[in-house]
Structure formats: structure tokens, C-alpha cells
Structure 1
């Protein structure tokens, strides 16, 4: 974001600010706004880091970041459509809006996002009353129609080096393949020993642990689509045995995949 845009977002004269952009690379700078931010990413996977938690934001979900929250974003996805709605802080707010939360985007909220995809800039009652009313309605229905799900903070770092980011993109693109570290190292002109050392130095974790994390991240995204069975999802993210997928999913998220799928269906209904 440019300084001029950041100033406009924080201007108290406007009730709302809207900014939607296509990005190939997420700006990792740290932000804090006087307005709350509703963030929805279409076509990518976003990681949101606050001072105390690392939130994974999968497709079909959106995140509420309260005003005056310090955070930054990271992603290895490219060509992401970021929807950003900024809301002036309310004197009296629903309790669910007082803390960062992740919500499933039900059909109504998604239609609202898509309806507003061409909006840009400051919005208040005087300059655009119809847009002002829709955003007021959006903020009002979040607590009523989109109960926060049990969010799964993915407690692992993300690549900082350009080389590891390229490797992460490659693994995400071929998520159904069971690549060994030797195969990946060869693909990128490295020795497996050098690649293993790079993972440890850059992220403090092993290749296996990182691969496991991005597989589960992709599984969460596929589950939100509610199109595939758990076995189909397991195979799509590189697991040939349902039991292995289920055990690793539970270890990473703290909840069994069948329970998570049930919750998704509950929220959609």
C-alpha cells in the first residue's frame, strides 16, 4: 500500500474504504489501521500474522481484523484477487468483532463481495449512499449469519528466501505428488543436503514438516468447497491412505477431518 492510500484508510471522515487488487506478490510489511479490515482472497492462500498468532485463511473464508491490530500478510500464491473492506471503528460493536476471527463465506456474503468487486476508495453517506448502506448491512450481518469457525492457527513459519518461495509454489502446484527432498533438490539444481540446510536456516523446520503443512492447508481449502469426499481430498493432497491423512490432519489442526467437514456443513446450512 502507498502512504496516500494508508492515510485515506485511516481518515475518520469516511465510514468505509474499499480496495480490491490483483497481486502476484503479497506485500509483507506490517500494518495497523484505525479502521477494521475485512479481508477475502479469491484464487489464493493467505497467511495472516498477528502479534500472537499465525492464521491460515483458505479459499471461501474471510477474516475480520479489528481496528488497531498489528498484522502482516504472507503468501506463496500468485495472481490473487484481494478484496479489502475497511470499517470505521464502532463505539458499540458485537463481541465477535472485537478480536481477529475467520468466517466461512456463506452464499450471501460471497454475493456481496462479488457485487462490490469494482468499488474503490472512500465511501460515506454523502458520496455514495447505496454503497454506504450495503457496507453497513455487511457489517451488521457478519455476527448474525457468519459465525466464526474454529480457526486453525498454522503454527509454522513461511519461506523468506526467494528460492524457497519458488519451491513452495512448485510444491503447491504439484501438491498431489509425493516428492522426496532429493527429487525437489534436483529439480532446483541443489543437493538434498543444501536444501535441507536452507529449510532449517530460513524457516527452522524440515522439508517434511513444511510439505505436511502446505498439504493440510490445501486440504482445508478443498474441504471448504464441499465438493470432494475426505478420501478424494486426501488423494488430491498427496496421501494414498486415508488413515495417514486423518492422523496428520488431526495433529496439525487439532480436529479430525470428519469433524471439520461436519462443521463446514453446519455453517453452510
Structure 2
């Protein structure tokens, strides 16, 4: 059936879990649902875009989208498998985890539990079904696995000058990027540029550049066969070891780990 065709059916039974495992390179357009979405990304890359942010989800990571958030979803390459469980929201108030959109590294236990649910693919499962307790237990364990969402997020803006600056940074990512040099290039004071980042993107200049470097590296690792050392150089690192450490701090994986999955 596919996820796009299944969207109208997800909320039909509020007390159920709707299961969908799909290999796709599709763009699932802006939509929302009344259930929380748990999805595991296997073998590629996924993008979640909301009104103000784009979240990048690497392979071997999972994400949770709370009910009611309007979002667009895209799988980055055709090899990506998105394994999704759309959960009843009746008990979401019991933990703050269920109230926020987040990206988290997946443990081997969670991966195997999510894969096990493929037996219910394209089905609603509720308390009348055998082993429904398995799905309940899976949801209940989520807040105990990870408390801090990974910062694999790029903010969006309609501000034209900010967009020009963001495009410039993306094109010159292999270079040393300092707030002094960028403010000079755009004929601004450092203070004004710093304020613009905080006002429009709600992030500091340095944090934005670091995030852009890491997300670009993730995309290159997944989508190309370039050596990790070459990718490190292209995103502004002259030392592969420093790049690997920064990447681990960001994703909880080494660059080679991401490529191997």
C-alpha cells in the first residue's frame, strides 16, 4: 500500500498501533496525524521538515514525532527502509519524551524489537490482538533509552539576507569560517551578524557552522563512496581524527560505523 496511501488510515482507530515498514525514496508531503510516530531509519537517510526546522536522521537512528506536528518526510536514497509505528496517544502525558520531536541512536535491542513488528506490516494492532503487549512495552521503554535528542537539526528561515549567508556558508564549507570573515564579506558588524543568527535561527553562528558541517558529512558518507578523510577535508576539517571525534560527539557513531550500516 505504501505510506502515502496509508496516511488517511493511520488515525482511523485511535487506540491502536498502525505498523508500516517501507523501502522508499518518496517525498511524503506535509501532513499530520493524531498518533505519535516512532520510526527507525535503516540503510540510508531521512529528512523531517517542519515549519521552522529540518531534521536529518542517519541510518541506525530513530525518531519520535508527537501527535499534531505538521511535517514533511523524505527518504534520502532508495536503499532507505523506514520502519514506522504510529502509536495511540492516550498515555502520552505520562512522560515528556512523548511531547517533543527528537532523534536518537538506536540500541541493538530496539532495532530487533522494531524489526519484529514487521509481522504486523500495514495493519492496525490493538488490545484484541495477540502480543499487543509487545508493542505497549516497546513504547513504554522509549523514555528510558535516551533522554537527549541529537542536535542534527538545521533551522529554516524566510529572511532573505539570512538565506544568502546560509548559502554562502554551504558553498565554502571546506574553508575556515569565522564570524569576523563572514561579517566582513556581508558588510556587517560581528555583533549584527551574531544577533541575526540568534534572532532568525535561534542558534549561534558557531553552532550553526558545526551543525552544517556534520549534516553535510552525514549526507556524503551515506550517499557517496568518498574516503572518510576526503569527506573530513570537504567539510572543513584538516585532521581526520578531529573530524571523527566531532562526528561521534554529534551522532554517537564513528563515520565508519554509519557507512557500514
What TM-score range do you get, normalising by the shorter chain?
A: 0.5 to 0.7
TM-aligned CA distance change 1:117 to 1:52, over 3 Å:
same
Count of residues in Structure 1 that have an aligned counterpart in Structure 2 = 204
Counterpart check, 1:32 vs 2:32: yes
1:58-207 superposed matches below 5 A: 58-91=58-91, 92-120=93-121, 121-126=123-128, 128-130=129-131, 132-155=132-155, 205=167
Q: Secondary structure at the match of 1:51?
A: coil
In structure 2, what is the equivalent of residue 191 of structure 1? none
How far apart, in 2, do the equivalents of 1:148 and 1:74 lie?
A: 23
Structure 1 unaligned regions, length at least 5: 158-199, 222-231
For normalisation by structure 2, the TM-score amounts to 0.64
CA contact (8 A) 1:34 1:68 kept: yes
CA contact (8 A) 2:35 2:88 kept: yes
In structure 2, what is the equivalent of residue 43 of structure 1? 43
CA contact (8 A) 1:105 1:146 kept: no
Q: Secondary structure at the match of 1:115?
A: helix
Q: Deviations over 1:138-184 (max 9, x none)?
A: 11000012333332203479xxxxxxxxxxxxxxxxxxxxxxxxxxx
For normalisation by structure 1, the TM-score amounts to 0.62
CA contact (8 A) 1:22 1:79 kept: yes
Deviating more after overlay: 55-64 vs 26-35: 26-35
Structure 2 unaligned regions, length at least 5: 158-162, 175-212, 255-261
CA contact (8 A) 1:17 1:85 kept: yes
Q: CA RMSD in A?
A: 3.8
Counterpart check, 1:237 vs 2:223: no
CA contact (8 A) 1:106 1:146 kept: no
TM-aligned CA distance change 1:3 to 1:26, over 3 Å:
closer
